[in-house]
């Protein structure tokens, strides 16, 4: 048999972690890595965080899962916390980011359906977006590598250029349900949308009664230095998908919505077996215990600025490799002049973990609770690795 027991859909590298501690990961043979990938923006408290671990252990021993047929004191409490802290009036819990986006898409469609406008079922989405790997979420992007071989895709998505307000407004027609957008594109290359673009989408949604749906699966939960990125745009979406960091490593997602936007999500319209189970709620609550306060968020902004300026200062020393730094808070990207994937591999061989992204960007996504010493360690080792790096001949 040639196929591996793990379905071979990932080009897995030779890092084989078995243990983690704070921002460090340890491999099978004791290799130590500084983890500035954090499970792709998931482990926002690092590895083995005592509060998160303790809460999960306690809840696992108390009650792990019950059906959503029963009342959920745990779900009600965490939903109430999200409602108190955000624009939202109501929350649906999922097990992943793609499921949170799926719920967001269904909520947007059902809003118009409930108003007797079932034909308003198409979302305008944006180039190089990433919304997940389900059929609906790959249909919502123009990235061919995600879609190849999976036709027929789901109708009801129209892709226009990211951050181009004119193109977005021109795409509105009688079937438009709203916009689905990452305020800071993650996989697409750490690209924050402009304030004008987001404000323009909001205005169009207000004027035409459309749904503004934010995918904050990667940029949400304190990563940009506010609890959610939308706060920094001075507007609120109607619907928001959250996941990745929200469970700190435990599989958890959430679809947040206003009361108005959720008008169609009545009994029987949606569901999930695991979604919002007591164990997941304990993980989410533990993460929010740590991150959902101004002191922690201020710390993220400060660490983000420190890391960003250290990276910017390093660039002139390696200007054959690096072009610029982009992003917000601790969702940062270094735009590279040579292949970012090859450089990420090189860093890995030197014990530094980062993640490649589109647009030839290297993502820097550390745990949010790192301190100055970790920032310094990362930048010093990155700079040393850059100095020793030989740009592959094939790269431009
Ligand atoms: C990771 C990601 C998703 C998908 O999340 P999964 O948990 O992998 O399903 C969706 N949207 C964005 C912006 C993401 O970064």
Q: Is residue 85 a part of any domain in this protein?
A: yes
Q: Which of 229, 257, 291 is the last residue of a domain?
A: 291
Burial 87-97 (b: 16+ CB within 10 A, else e): bbebbbbbbbb
Dihedral (CA of 317, 318, 323, 325) sign = negative
- Can you say how many angstroms the Cα of residue 123 is from the centroid of all Cα atoms in its chain? 20
Longest dimension (CA), the chain: 63
Domain annotation covers residue 5: no
Domains of the chain: total: 2
In a domain, 44, yes or no: yes
Are residue 73 and residue 181 in the same domain, yes or no? yes
d(C-alpha 209, C-alpha 212), whole Å: 10
In a domain, 396, yes or no: no
- Same domain assignment for residues 45 and 113: no
Between CA 61 and CA 279 the distance in angstroms is 9
- Based on the fold, state whether residues 353 and 243 are members of the same structural domain: no
Instruction: Check if the beta carbon of residue 176 is closer than 8 Å to that of residue 160.
Output: no
Ligand 1 neighbourhood includes 130 CB (under 6 angstroms): yes
Angle (CA) 167-168-172 rounded to 5° is 110
Whether the model pTM is above 0.85: yes
**How far is the C-alpha of 299 from the C-alpha of 293, rounded, in Å?**
10
State which of 261, 291, 321 marks the end of a domain.
291
Q: What CATH number does the domain containing 115 carry?
A: 3.40.640.10
We report the CATH number of the domain holding residue 359 as: 3.90.1150.10
205 token code pair: 């949604």
- Domain match, 298 and 324 both: yes
- Dist. CA 95–CA 170, nearest whole Å: 35
Residues 343 and 281 in one domain: no
| Token pair for 17 | 């972690």
3-state SS string for 114-179: HCCCCCCCEEEEECCCCCCCCHHHHHCCCCHHHHCCCCCCCCCEEEECCCCHHHHHHCCCCCEEEE
Q: Which of 9, 132, 133, 184 to mutate to test the pocket of ligand 1 (most atoms within 8 A of CB)?
A: 132
Interacting residues of 135 by C-beta distance below 8 A, sequence separation 6+: 150, 153, 154
Per-residue pLDDT of the chain (396 residues; tens, 9 = 90+): 899 999 999 999 999 999 999 999 999 999 999 999 999 999 999 999 999 999 999 999 999 999 999 999 999 999 999 999 999 999 999 999 999 999 999 999 999 999 999 999 999 999 999 999 999 999 999 999 999 999 999 999 999 999 999 999 999 999 999 999 999 999 999 999 999 999 999 999 999 999 999 999 999 999 999 999 999 999 999 999 999 999 999 999 999 999 999 999 999 999 999 999 999 999 999 999 999 999 999 999 999 999 999 999 999 999 999 999 999 999 999 999 999 999 999 999 999 999 999 999 999 999 999 999 999 999 999 999 999 999 887 644
Cis peptide before 307 (omega within 30 of 0): no
The verdict on residue 195 lying in a domain is yes
Question: Do residues 318 and 346 touch, judged by C-beta distance below 8 A?
Answer: no
Ligand 1 center to 100 CA (angstroms): 9
Tell whether 233 is covered by a domain: yes
Residues 85 and 168 in one domain: yes
Ligand 1 atom nearest to CA at 182: 13
Question: Of all atoms in ligand 1, which is nearest to the CA of residue 99?
Answer: 9
180 CB less than 6 Å from ligand 1?
no
- Could you tell me how many helices (H) and strands (E) the chain has, helices first? 12, 17
Q: How far apart are CA 130 and CA 361, in angstroms?
A: 15
Angle, in degrees to the nearest 10, between helices 372-388 and 294-314:
20
Residue 3 lies in a domain: no
Q: Does the C-beta of 354 come closer than 6 Å to ligand 1?
A: no
Instruction: Assign 33 to helix, strand or coil.
Output: strand
State in Å, rounded, how far the first CA of the chain is from the last one: 39
Task: Give the C-alpha separation, 45 to 291, whole Å.
Answer: 9
Q: What is the pLDDT of residues 95-154, one digit of tens each?
A: 999 999 999 999 999 999 999 999 999 999 999 999 999 999 999 999 999 999 999 999
Query: Do 280 and 309 belong to one domain?
Result: no
Is there a contact between 39 and 386 (Cβ–Cβ < 8 Å)?
Answer: no
Same domain as 313, residue 168? no
Nearest to 366 by CA among 346, 384, 381, 386: 381
pLDDT per residue as tens digits for the range 199-228 = 999 999 999 999 999 999 999 999 999 999
| Residue 154 shares a structural domain with residue 189 | yes
Q: Enumerate the β-bridge partners of residue 326.
A: 333
Helix spans in 234-361 (H): 278-291, 294-314, 340-349
Structural domain boundaries enclosing 195: 51-291
- Indicate whether 269 and 169 sit together in one domain: yes
For ligand 1, say whether the CB of 331 is within 6 Å of any of its atoms: no
């Amino acid at each position: 048999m040639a196929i591996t027991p793990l379905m071979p859909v990932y080009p897995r590298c030779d890092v084989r972690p078995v243990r983690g501690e704070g921002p460090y990961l340890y491999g099978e043979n004791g290799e130590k890595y500084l983890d500035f990938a954090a499970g792709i923006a998931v482990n926002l408290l690092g590895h083995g965080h005592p509060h998160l671990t303790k809460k999960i252990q306690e809840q696992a021993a108390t009650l792990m899962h019950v059906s959503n047929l029963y009342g959920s004191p745990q779900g009600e409490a965490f939903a109430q916390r999200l409602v108190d802290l955000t624009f939202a009036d109501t929350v649906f819990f999922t097990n992943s980011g793609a499921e949170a986006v799926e719920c967001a898409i269904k909520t947007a469609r059902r809003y118009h359906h409930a108003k007797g406008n079932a034909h308003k079922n198409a979302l305008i989405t944006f180039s190089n977006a990433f919304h997940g790997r389900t059929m609906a979420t790959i249909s919502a992007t123009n990235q061919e590598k995600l879609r190849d071989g999976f036709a027929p895709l789901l109708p009801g998505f129209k892709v226009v250029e990211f951050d181009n307000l004119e193109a977005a407004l021109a795409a509105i027609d009688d079937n438009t349900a709203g916009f689905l957008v990452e305020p800071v594109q993650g996989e697409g290359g750490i690209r924050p949308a402009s304030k004008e673009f987001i404000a323009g989408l909001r205005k169009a949604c207000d004027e035409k009664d459309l749904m503004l749906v934010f995918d904050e699966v990667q940029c949400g939960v304190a990563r940009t230095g506010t609890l959610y990125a939308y706060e920094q745009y001075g507007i609120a979406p109607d619907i928001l998908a959250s996941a990745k960091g929200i469970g700190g490593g435990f599989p958890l997602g959430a679809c947040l919505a206003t009361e108005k936007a959720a008008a169609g999500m009545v009994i029987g319209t949606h569901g999930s077996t695991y979604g919002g189970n007591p164990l997941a709620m304990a993980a989410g609550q533990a993460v929010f215990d740590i991150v959902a306060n101004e002191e922690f968020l201020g710390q993220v902004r400060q660490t983000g600025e420190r890391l960003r300026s250290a990276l910017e200062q390093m660039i002139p020393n390696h200007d054959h490799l690096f072009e610029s730094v982009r992003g917000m808070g601790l969702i940062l990207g270094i735009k590279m002049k040579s292949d970012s994937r090859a450089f990420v591999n090189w860093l890995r061989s030197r014990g530094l973990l980062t993640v490649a992204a589109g647009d030839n960007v290297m993502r820097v996504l550390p745990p949010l609770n790192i301190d100055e010493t970790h920032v310094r360690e990362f930048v010093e080792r990155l700079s040393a690795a850059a100095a020793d790096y030989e740009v592959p001949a094939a790269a431009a």
